[in-house]
């Protein structure tokens, strides 16, 4: 069975590139929600700040995992 298509080069870099798509959109959604909520009701900014940072950190963690995994698998 011959090779029909091949991906060569630094596959770890390409893996990170794909892994950064989801968290990029996710972080955008989190901050968009925070900005909209604060614009509608400014007094709630302090209350929702905890969830802002929680959501940002959780989304960003996946991108950081994508960055670190090529180093782990050597």
Partner 1 sequence: MTDGRQPTGWSGANEGWAVLGTLFAGAFVWGGIGWLVDLWLDTMFVKAIGVVVGLAAAIYLVVTKYGRTE
Decide whether 6 or 43 has the Cβ nearer to partner 1: 43
Per DSSP, the residues of 7-57 read --S-HHHHHHHHHTHHHHHHHHHHHHHHHHHHHH-GGGHHHHHHHHHHHHH
Site for partner 1, rule CB under 8 A: 46-47, 49-54, 56-58, 60-61, 64-65, 68-69, 71-72
Decide whether 25 or 35 has the Cβ nearer to partner 1: 35
Interatomic CA distance for residues 28 and 11, integer angstroms: 26
In angstroms, give the least distance from the CB of 53 to partner 1.
Answer: 4
Decide whether 11 or 65 has the Cβ nearer to partner 1: 65
């Amino acid at each position: 069975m011959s090779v029909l298509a091949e991906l060569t080069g630094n596959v770890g870099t390409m893996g990170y590139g794909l892994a950064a798509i989801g968290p990029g959109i996710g972080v955008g959604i989190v901050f968009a929600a925070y900005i909209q909520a604060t614009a509608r009701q400014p007094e709630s900014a302090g209350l929702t700040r905890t969830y802002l940072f929680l959501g940002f950190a959780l989304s960003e963690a996946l991108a950081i995992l994508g960055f670190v995994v090529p180093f782990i698998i050597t």
